[in-house]
Amino acid sequence: MKISTKGRYGLRALVDLAVYSEKGPISINSIAARQNISERYLEQLMAMLKKAGLVKSIRGAGGGYLLAKPTEEISVGDVLRALEGNIEAAACAGLQSDDVCLTADSCVTKYVWQKINDTINETVDEIMIRQLAEESKKVNLLKEERHG
C-alpha cells in the first residue's frame, strides 16, 4: 500500500488544524504556509475532509476551518479513508463475498492478504489525531528552543 500526497498532505493539514485551531478557525493560507502545501491543493483536500465530516468551514471575516469532532475521536484511519478511499494493501477477490475468484476455495494466500489488511487497518485506527497533535507541539517547542 502506498499513501499518495492526498493522504500525506491531508493528514499533515488535519494535525496542523488540531494544533492551531484551539482559539478559532484557521485559514487555508496559514495551514498551507506552515505545511508547505499549495493553497489550491489544500482546498481540494479540505473539501474531501469536510464531506467526510472531519472538518467544518466557517465563512466570512475571521473564518476558516475547524475540526468537526474532538481530536480523540478522529483516527488516522478516518483521515486516510476520507482522502484515499480503500487503504488495503492487497485486493483479493477471494476475500469479498460478492467478487468472483476462481481459486477462492483452494487458495491459502488470501489469509496472508487478510492479515496484512487487518494489521494496516488496526494500526491506522489506533492512532488518534490528538496523539499526533501532542507530538507536533513537542516537536515545535524543541524547534523554538533551538532557534530562539
Look up the pTM and report it.
Answer: 0.86
Nearest CA to 55 out of 77, 22, 99, 25 is that of 25
- Give pLDDT tens digits for 3-17: 999 999 999 999 999
pLDDT digits (tens, 9 = 90+) for 47-82: 999 999 999 999 988 899 999 999 999 999 999 999
Instruction: Kindly list the domain boundaries of the chain, sorted by start residue.
Output: 5-147
Looking at domain 5-147, its CATH architecture is Orthogonal Bundle (1.10)
Give residue 143's pLDDT.
82
